[in-house]
Amino acid sequence: MVTAWLILFAPLAAAIAILLVAIHRPRLASTLAIAGLGTSFAATVWWFLQALHQPMLLPSETSVNWISLPNLTIPFGILLDQLSLLMALVVTGVGSAIFIYSTGYMAGDAAYSRFFGVLSLFAFSMLTIVLSTNWIELFMGWELVGFCSYLLIGHWYAKPSAADAGKKAFMVNRVADFGFLLGILALWAASGATPAERTFHFHTLQLRLPLLAHAGTIAAGTLPVIGVLIFCGPMGKSAQFPLHVWLPDAMEGPTPVSALIHAATMVAAGVYLLCRAFWLFEGVPQVLTLIAWVGGLTAFLSAGLALVENDLKRILAYSTLSQLGYMVMALGLGGRVAGMYHLTTHAFFKALLFLAAGSVIHGTHEQDIHKLGGLWRSMRWTSLLFLIGALALAGFPGLSGFFSKEEILVLAHEHSAPLYWIGTLTAGLTAFYIGRAWCVAFLGHPHADSHSGHGAAHESPPVMLIPLALLALLSLSAGYVGIPRFLGEHAEEFHWGVAIISLIVVGLGLGLAWLIYYRRAISAQQLAHALALPHTLLQHRYYIDDAYTWYVETIQQRLIAGLCAWIERALIIGLFVNGIAWLTQTAGRVLRRLQTGVVQTYALVFLLGILALLSRVFAW
Amino acid sequence: MVSAVLGVPLLVLILLAPMAGALMIALLPEHRPALIRRVAVTAASLSLAGAVYAILTYNTAAGGYQHEVCVPWIHSLGIGFHLGVDGISVVLVLLHALCAFTGVLISYAIPQRVKEYFIFYLTLITGVFGVFLSLDLFFFYFFYEMAVIPMYPLIGVWGSDVKERGVVKFSKEYATMKLTIYLTLGAVVALVGLLWLYVSAGATTFDLVALQQQFAGSPLDPGLQRAIFPLLAIGFGVIAPMWPLHSWSPIGHAAAPSAVSMLHAGVLMKLGSYAIIRLAVGLLPAGAQTWLPWLAVVCVMNIVYGGLVAMAQRDLKLIIGYSSSSHMGYVLLGIACLSPLALNGAVLLMFAHGIMTALAFALVGHLYDQTHTRYLPDLGGLAHQAPFIAGCGVIAAMASSGLPGLANFVAELLVFLGGWVVYPVQMILGVLGVVITAIYMLRLVRGTFFGPSKPVFARVTDATTAFAKLPYLVLIGALLAVGCWPGPLTRIIASATEPFIQQATQQPVRAATLTSTTQPESHSP
Amino acid sequence: MPSLLFSTPHLAWLMISPTHYVRLSAVLFAIGLMGLMTRRNVLMILLCIEVMFNAANLAFVAYARAWGNLDGHVVVFFIITVAAAEVTVGLAIAILLARQLKTLNADEVRLLKW
Amino acid sequence: MTEAVFFYTFSGLAILAALSVAWNRRPIYSVLSLLVFMFCLAALFIMLGAYFVAALQVLLYAGAVLVLFLFVIMLLNLEPEALARMRLFTLRGVGTAAASLLLAALVAILRRPGPAPITPATTIGSVESIGQLLFTTYLIPFELTSFLILAAIIGAVTLARQKSHD
């Protein structure tokens, strides 16, 4: 089991070591970080191979008591089963590649050591989520990844937009976690009659909840409510509509962060959670339907947003949203395997895309696609690798994305016609926007305006390209290694009809992009003009950000907080406190009239007092 | 078990080391501030060492009051000098020792009247130790007043006005008057309750342990308990601070010098909640069962309202001040639940919040010394000049908003778990309070540390030497240690809270049926 | 007058007992008090106080006689001492008033007002 | 019978003198009335057997205190007092009424049977017996009076001293 603990704690050890000894030694810091995550990766691989040889080894669980009180025991432990092992493999594997890439990308950064320290901490937190045995442990990891994400988005905190984006990401996740934590608490309360009986433990809950529900101990409406509350968590972390707004802004962070956290791993944690707690949602079909629709809408709406975006990283961010929507939809349709499958392949190709985009940014210091162009000439390798990722994303036959997306579409085809069509349409949009991005940024001629900017465009160093190549290899091959089989459950059958339709749609998307943005056969401006209404809507991001800004600034800050501050100032301090003070002072002002200053008045009062006393003592 | 150091009982050492320091300083010449500071640090370190030793040697299996010292004093009134710690107070003693130690270190920045400052400061420290250690109502009250009174000169002389755009919003004189009047009035109300309790118990003893035993055998008349309980709860609630009697506290925090704010928000406010646990709930269980649901409602006002008001503030210290009153709402809520888990959470939160808020005030103090402003719109980009302080600030903000791995998370979690069954609605609002906390804390961090570097602050310096970093590191270390590994501390607390709640939730039983088994816990929502 | 004030049996007023002295002291005390309340000159007020002191002395001595011990005498001794001290300080204040405020009228001396 | 004659003579005189002290408009007359009053009281003290007190009365009051008053009155060269103005008339009226009420109350109280049998006992207020008492039972109060007098002296000197620093 030492190896299992090693998976979890090697990155944490690296983070602590960086903080203690390497904060002013960048080389040492990156070495430590890579060593930490590398150890973790090696341990995961070791377990993976073991598990392949002896499937009986899984699931395996070990834990220590984090809190043990007479009424409450919260363990902290490691649960290794097919699901967590696969996810850990993705996290450590993709993570290692990105760590190595970062040494090149972040070279010369002022806060290089801090970057790697937080990155290591992130790896630890993410693995805590993945390997957790109970809800509290998972929640701790959940919050910690949010914190790391906050720090990494705001890595260049001098930029106001970056600092704001970090804040926004943390805030939106906090709002989501409000529901999530309530869900966890409610679930705990429902899991037993007395405090000592209640538990957070996944496995125990999985076994106990159906019994309790069956016995009627849990009220009929409770479980759906719990389900919805817990789903709030993934909605925030995996940026589902309408809590998606933080993810595009999160692109302010360094690109490796976008790749690791905001594409491959952290945002997928929501999907992972849905898989992990699938037994909970299985019992409440109405919640599953909700999940599926939220996922489907997210997939479609964010694909739309990607159509009009000009920032290369933001296009990828919307694409991430859209793909996460696919995964959530898959889960909502009951496709645990399909969801995880897509999560895995997406981690590969999206990390690839981001890192390639990072390579572009590294070489040109520009991320507006219209100011790029002709990169095919100056950055041959990067362009090729980006193309592989783009095709995988678009679902080009034979690449990994194709297989996993097919699974989801087949699933949708079986369960829900509207969601199937939404999914298919989204596939077309996906192909179109990624085609557009590639055509505009990599083909054509270097843009006239930005000669100064990327006139010196240069290919990135090998330390960045090699991880890219590895990821590209995975994106090409991940469809053939039998991930669903490893997960040990029945996968969807290949469905020719679905495949052909989606191929047609994808082909249309790519073709249109080619026509519009490379051949210029159709003018993009005229198209936008013709579709003015949707175009405006998309350009304003459905006005959702505006609505939130309005809510936060006007309602929350000015109205609610302002009202409370006014109550505090005017009523509590003004009326209540100062009012009493005023009353006291007024009483003093009135009563001091008694002090005439004439000695005899005092003597008189004295005398009257004596009389009163006499009358009391010698009452006649 | 009385352990002694060089013949001085441990608790007496903890209590009197600061007092001895104050007396020594009184005898030192004024023009040797370095020596004065050294004496103060030595005194605080002695207490800290004692407190650490006390918590390390606390026997959780045995429970109850340990390291007791008892010297009868006035026999006819039943007053005795009785010290002792149980699982609740030993944790708070450690909290106070930590805050006092770091506070003395932070006080190195005090520029003028060093001698008088440290005399008052060490007296204040002694008073707070006395409250946590005393097991005699008379001394409890005595030390309580001793802790309140030095605040008056400390804020009035060494404090600073609350300004907004250079305009004074609250003067330090206003703040200190308000604080002193409030706290003294609260103390008087509590005193009435205490004397009433003393008289109705037969006026034979002020000894807490004796009273507890007496009430365990023959409880007070429930009607009487219901009458006395509000006096104690409101009287001590003022310092907790209980809504709507809180308005002295944010202003008081804001005007006080930073080391005093540290003690004030870190520890002094806990005196109130501690007294409510120990005296109000501990001695008047029937009164508690009647009144605690109302307390739970008030707490929610504390949490949500305090948080919302904090959101609207622009002075750093006011933000933290209101957040303190918001967070103390969780403590009171944990008490109001009357369940062992929630009470554990409440006590742990007193510890966690004390450390966190001490850290926050120390940081703000450092920034204020450097920038001479606490007005949020004027600040910004300080992470460039002071990365260490900024890092600590982020940690403090995260602790405040309940990030796992830091002690506050565990404490709040325990309160939520313990209270979920008892007061679900209050708990939902409590969780909402965590969201509100995150809003203003993030805003504070963003506005203070992040953003482009401002030329005005070019001369701002970081805490560079190991000595300057020490107080921050000690506090963060405590937060992390408890947050990552809460097991030992929670076990110590539980050794006191489990029997405590058992006793408090027991129905008043007649003497004849006293021998029967303990009744099951009853939660009255 | 006496028959109105005193309800002793007939002719008893010829048998002088300490009670008579005590009643006399009450009358004297009241006279001094009335003077104190009505006079405006500070010196006059002090003089009236002297009358009241002496009335009290009389009562003490009368009771000492009645109870047959000397404690009353000792108290009178103390009262005389106090009165001497009082007069000393009082007159010093009077001089000060006359010198600084140019008046001895108690109504005009209102330094204690508010 | 002789006692009665003396008592009524001296008490009548004392009352008249007291009235004169209280209502005489000229301070100097008041002081002189007070002198008469003091001597009457001294006589009454002798009748009560309080010889030492009587001696003190003559020596201290008549001898010291009244002389002090005379000095001050002459020093300040006082005018006769003007009639009370209306503004404080109420005060005066209420004061007089209250004082009368007090008298009535005292008389009413004295009409009640006393707490102890008031029987003339034979105690002689000789210097020796009072000295006995003063230096045994009342030693500490006696010593303390010296502090009182000291304080009075210092106070009088401080108050009445001409300000020299201007």
Asked if the C-beta of A189 comes within 8 angstroms of chain B's C-beta atoms, the answer is yes
Q: What confidence category does residue A400 fall into, taking pLDDT thresholds of 50, 70 and 90?
A: confident
Q: How far is CA A331 from the centre of its chain?
A: 17
Interface test with B, best of A63, A67, A571 (most B CBs within 10 A): A67
Q: B465 and B385 in contact (C-beta within 8 Å)? A: no
Residues of A within 8 A of C106 (CB-CB) are 598-600
Report whether pLDDT(B102) > 90: yes
Q: What confidence category does residue A229 fall into, taking pLDDT thresholds of 50, 70 and 90?
A: very high
> Which of A592, A593, A603 comes nearest C37 by C-beta?
A603
Q: What confidence category does residue B462 fall into, taking pLDDT thresholds of 50, 70 and 90?
A: confident
Q: Please, what is the angle between helix A135-153 and helix B407-420, to 10°?
A: 140
Beta pairing, strands B4-5 & A72-80: unpaired
Q: What residues of chain C, 29 to 88, have a C-beta less than 8 Å from chain A?
A: 33, 36-37, 45
Q: What confidence category does residue D123 fall into, taking pLDDT thresholds of 50, 70 and 90?
A: low
Distances (CA, A) of B524 to A456, B294, B338: 74, 12, 9
Phi-psi region of B165 (alpha: psi -120 to 50; beta: other; left: phi over 0): left
Question: Length of chain B in residues, anyone?
Answer: 525
Shortest distance, CA B459 to any CA of chain A (angstroms): 18
Quote the mean pLDDT of chain A: 86
- Give residue D114's pLDDT: 54
Residues of D within 8 A of C22 (CB-CB) are 110
Asked if the C-beta of A594 comes within 8 angstroms of chain D's C-beta atoms, the answer is no
- Give residue A368's pLDDT: 82
A401: exposed, middle or buried (Cβ count in 10 Å: 0-12, 13-18, 19+): buried
Dihedral pair phi/psi, residue D165, rounded to 5°: -85, -5
- Residue with the bigger pLDDT between A95 and D110: it is A95
Calculate mean pLDDT across residues B391-407. Answer: 91
Report whether pLDDT(A618) > 90: no
Residue listed under structure tokens 């961090």: B445
Please give the Cα distance from A287 to A277 (Å, whole number): 13
Domain boundaries, given as residue ranges, for chain C: 40-108
Report whether pLDDT(D117) > 80: no
Shortest distance, CA B11 to any CA of chain A (angstroms): 27
Note the ipTM here.
0.75
Asked if the C-beta of A594 comes within 8 angstroms of chain C's C-beta atoms, the answer is no
Extended strands (E) in A11-153? 60-69, 72-80
In this structure, whether the domain defined by C40-108 belongs to CATH 1.10.287.3510 is answered with: yes
Q: Which amino acid is at A529?
A: H
B297: exposed, middle or buried (Cβ count in 10 Å: 0-12, 13-18, 19+): middle
Domain boundaries, given as residue ranges, for chain D: 2-87+122-160
Residues of A within 8 A of B418 (CB-CB) are 195
**Residues with Cβ within 8 Å of residue B496, at least 6 apart in sequence:** B63, B86, B87, B88
- Give residue A492's pLDDT: 65
Please give the Cα distance from C27 to D104 (Å, whole number): 9
Element (H, E) at B70: strand B66-74
Report whether pLDDT(A448) > 60: no
C112: closest chain A residue by CA: A597
Helix ranges restricted to H, B31-158: 33-56, 87-106, 114-133, 137-148, 151-158
Give me B463's structure tokens: 């805490």
Residues of B within 8 A of A151 (CB-CB) are 394
Tell me which residues of chain C have a pLDDT lower than 70: 1-14, 112-114
DSSP of B271-339: HHHHHIIIIIIHH-HHHHHHHHHHHHHHHHIIIIIHHHHHHH--BHHHHHHHHHHHHHHHHHHHHHHT-
Which of A231-240, B325-334, D77-86 comes out lowest in average pLDDT?
Answer: D77-86
CATH code given to domain D2-87+122-160:
1.20.120.1200
Q: C39 and C104 in contact (C-beta within 8 Å)? A: no
DSSP of A120-160: HHHHHHHHHHHH-SBHHHHHHHHHHHHHHHHHHHGGGTTSH
Reduce the DSSP state of residue B201 to 3 states and report it.
Answer: coil
**Residues with Cβ within 8 Å of residue A75, at least 6 apart in sequence:** A63, A64, A65, A66, A133, A134, A137, A201
Report whether pLDDT(B99) > 90: yes
Cross-chain residue pair B431–A181, CB shorter than 8 Å: yes
Q: B237 and B276 in contact (C-beta within 8 Å)? A: yes
Cross-chain residue pair C73–D75, CB shorter than 8 Å: no
- Residue with the bigger pLDDT between D79 and A420: it is A420
Radius of gyration of chain D (CA): 21
Please give the Cα distance from B485 to B480 (Å, whole number): 8
Cross-chain residue pair A618–D109, CB shorter than 8 Å: yes
Dihedral pair phi/psi, residue A60, rounded to 5°: -130, 135
Give me A603's structure tokens: 């003597």
- Give residue A57's pLDDT: 79
> Which of A139, A174, A189 comes nearest B435 by C-beta?
A174
Q: What confidence category does residue B457 fall into, taking pLDDT thresholds of 50, 70 and 90?
A: confident
Helix ranges restricted to H, A514-561: 524-530, 532-539, 544-550
Please give the Cα distance from D31 to D34 (Å, whole number): 5
Distances (CA, A) of C109 to A606, B238, B312, D85: 19, 45, 55, 15
Distances (CA, A) of A245 to A26, A167, A294, A298, A513: 34, 12, 15, 11, 26
Q: A19 and A58 in contact (C-beta within 8 Å)? A: no
Residues of A within 8 A of D99 (CB-CB) are 607
- Give residue A411's pLDDT: 87
pLDDT tens-digit series, residues B312-365: 888 888 899 999 989 999 999 999 988 888 999 999 999 999 999 999 999 998
Spell out a b/e string for A160-187, using b for 16 or more CB atoms within 10 Å of the CB, else e: eebbbbbbbbbbbbbbbbbbbbbbbbbb
Please give the Cα distance from B350 to B348 (Å, whole number): 5
Please give the Cα distance from A571 to A555 (Å, whole number): 21
pLDDT tens-digit series, residues B117-169: 999 999 999 999 999 999 999 999 999 999 988 999 999 889 888 887 778 88
Distances (CA, A) of A138 to A76, A203, A341, B98, D58: 9, 14, 21, 31, 102
DSSP of A295-348: HHHHHHHHHHHHHH--BHHHHHHHHHHHHHHHHHHHHHTT-HHHHHHHHHHHHH
Which of A244-258, B22-36, C3-17 comes out lowest in average pLDDT?
Answer: C3-17
Report whether pLDDT(A323) > 50: yes
Quote the mean pLDDT of chain B: 87
Q: Please, what is the angle between helix B387-400 and helix B407-420, to 10°?
A: 10
**Residues with Cβ within 8 Å of residue A214, at least 6 apart in sequence:** none
pLDDT tens-digit series, residues D135-145: 888 899 899 99
pLDDT tens-digit series, residues A550-593: 888 888 888 888 888 888 888 888 888 888 888 988 998 888 87
Q: What confidence category does residue B453 fall into, taking pLDDT thresholds of 50, 70 and 90?
A: confident
A126: exposed, middle or buried (Cβ count in 10 Å: 0-12, 13-18, 19+): buried
Reduce the DSSP state of residue A619 to 3 states and report it.
Answer: coil
Please give the Cα distance from C102 to B458 (Å, whole number): 67
- Give residue A485's pLDDT: 75
Residues of B within 8 A of A174 (CB-CB) are 401, 434-435, 438-439
Residue in B213, B231, B270, B296 with CA at minimum distance from that of residue B503: B213
Report whether pLDDT(A509) > 60: yes
Query: Partners of B136 in the beta sheet?
Result: B207
Report whether pLDDT(D78) > 80: no
Please give the Cα distance from A182 to B416 (Å, whole number): 9
